Amino acid sequence: MQPRPPVESLDMPATSEYDAPMVAWSRIIVHADMDAFYASVEQRDNPELKGKPVLIGPNSHRGVVLTASYEARPYGVGSAMPVVEARRRCPVAIMVPPRFERYQSVSKQVMDVFSDFSPYVEALSLDEAFLDMSGAAHFFGPPAELGAKIKAAVLKETGLNISVGVSATKYVAKVASGHDKPDGLTIVAPEEASDWLAPMPVNRLWGAGKKTAAKLQDLGFHTIGDVACADPNFLSQHLGQTGARFHELANARDPRPVTRGRRAKSIGSERTLNQDVHQRDVILRHLRRSAERIARRVRSKHYVAAGLRLRLKTAKFEMLTRQRKFPSPVDTADEFMQLATTLLDELNHPGPFRLIGMAVFDLDWNGKNDQGDLFADPKNRKLEIALDALTEKFGTDTVVRARDMNSQGTVAKDGVNLDYLDYRDGERISSPD
C-alpha cells in the first residue's frame, strides 16, 4: 500500500459559508461516521453490488440485518430488523454475509487517517469516532475546511464516503454528522447550536430511547427546544439525573472531553437459535460457548469484569435479563459460567427460548491483579490461556472441552451468533462466529 499523502496536499473544495470566526469556537469537536459501513465496504469490493439494495446479515430466517445500504433504505429496511421482514419489504435486496475481519481492517485504515489529524481520537465503534481538533485551525483551516479535509482523506485512503459533523461539543457534533447523510458535512457554530437543535424531536437527545422519549412526550415535551425551556427541577423530578442531563444537552451544553483509548463498557456474546429450546443442558451449552468467547476477548484486552448479565429471549419475544456482581473481578469462562448458571436457576423460567447469551460489564484493566480472583482455580485459568493461544493460531473451535459437546459429539452452534462490545449504551460491534 502506498503511504498516505500529507493531508495538506489533498485537493479541497472552496471554503464553505459555514466557516465561523474562530474567536467563537472554544473547542472544535468533530464526529465522523462512515455511511452504511459494512454495506459500503461490500459494494466497494464487489462492483456488481454498486447501486443495488444490499443487506448485510446471515442467510437465516432467524437472523437480523446488520447494515442496509442506502439503496435498500427507501423500502423501509434498517439495522436490527429481522431478515424475514427485510426480505418481505425489499424482495430485490441482495443478502451478503458479513466479513468482520475485512470490516475491522478497513476500520483500522479509517482510524489511522483520523490519527493524522489529531492525537485525540475517541473510537465509538468500528465506523465512528470523535476527534478533538481544538487549536488545529492553523494546520487545517477553519471548521468547514478541516471537516472537508477529513472527508477527502478518508475517501482517498479507503474509497469510502463518510459524514462529518463539526461543533463545539460532542453532542452537537454527533447530531450534526447524521444531519445530511450520506456523504454529508454539517457545521454548527457554538452560538447557533441551541437554535439549531430546538426544532428536532426529543428522540434526538443523546440517551433518549423509545421509552424515555415517550415519557418526555407524555410530560408535554415534543421537541428539544421544549426541553431546553423546561424547568430543570421539573425534569429531574420526573427523570432523575437523566432529566438534568437532557436539559444541559438541549441547551447545547456538553463539557465532556474527547477521550483517547476509550474502554468498552461491556463485552457480550449471544446467539439467535434456529429452533427454540427449553432443555437446561442445551441452554447451558450455549451459555458455555458465550462464556468462552467473552473470556477470550476480555483477556485479550487485559480486562477483568466486575459483573455479569444473563440475556434470554422467549419464543414470544419477551426479553429476560438478570445480572449480578462477582465477589471480585474475574476473567475466566468458568467463573462467568458459575454466575450465569446461578442467574439461570434464579430466573426459573420454563422457556422455550429463541436467544441465549450473556455480557460482562464494569470492565477494568487487569493491572496488578494479573492472577484474577485469588480463590479461583489457577489450573483452569492456565488452561484457558493455553486455549487462547491455540484459538489465536488455528481459529475458533479447534480445541473444545468434552463437557462443551452434545451427545452427538458436536458443539452447540445452531443459529446466528453476535459478539459485541458496548462502548455506549446500545452501541455494538459484531464479530464473526
Dihedral angle over CA of 267, 271, 276, 282, nearest 10: -80
The DSSP bridge partners found for residue 82 are: 64
Considering 122, 128, 145, 270, which one is annotated as catalytic?
Answer: 128
Closest CA to 166 of 22, 369, 366: 22
Q: Is 71 part of the annotated catalytic residue set?
A: no
Q: Which residues of 344-355 are buried (b: 16+ CB within 10 A; e: fewer)?
A: beeeeeebebbb
Whole-angstrom Cα distance, residue 313 to residue 287? Answer: 13
Residue in 385, 332, 429, 432 with CA at minimum distance from that of residue 100: 432
Q: CB–CB of 16/187 below 8 Å? A: yes
CA angle 248, 253, 259 (to 5 degrees): 110
Indicate the burial class of 288 (C-beta count within 10 angstroms; 0-12, 13-18, 19 or more). Answer: buried
Q: How far is CA 122 from CA 31, 185, 247, 373, in A?
A: 9, 19, 24, 31
Q: Is 67 exposed, middle or buried (0-12, 13-18, 19+ CB in 10 A)?
A: buried
CA-based nearest residue to 38, from 56, 14, 15, 64: 56
- Residue 166 pairs in a beta bridge with 30, 187
Per DSSP (E only), the strands in 61-190 are 67-68, 94-96, 121-125, 128-132, 162-167, 185-187
**Rg of the chain on CA atoms, in Å:** 23
Yes or no: say if 86 and 99 are a contact pair by the CB < 8 Å rule: no
The single residue listed with the C-alpha cell 443487506 is 55
| Residue 347, H or E segment | helix 333-347
Task: Output the nine-digit C-alpha cell for 145.
Answer: 475546511
Burial group, residue 182, by CB count within 10 angstroms (0-12, 13-18, 19+)? middle
The residues carrying an active-site annotation are: 128
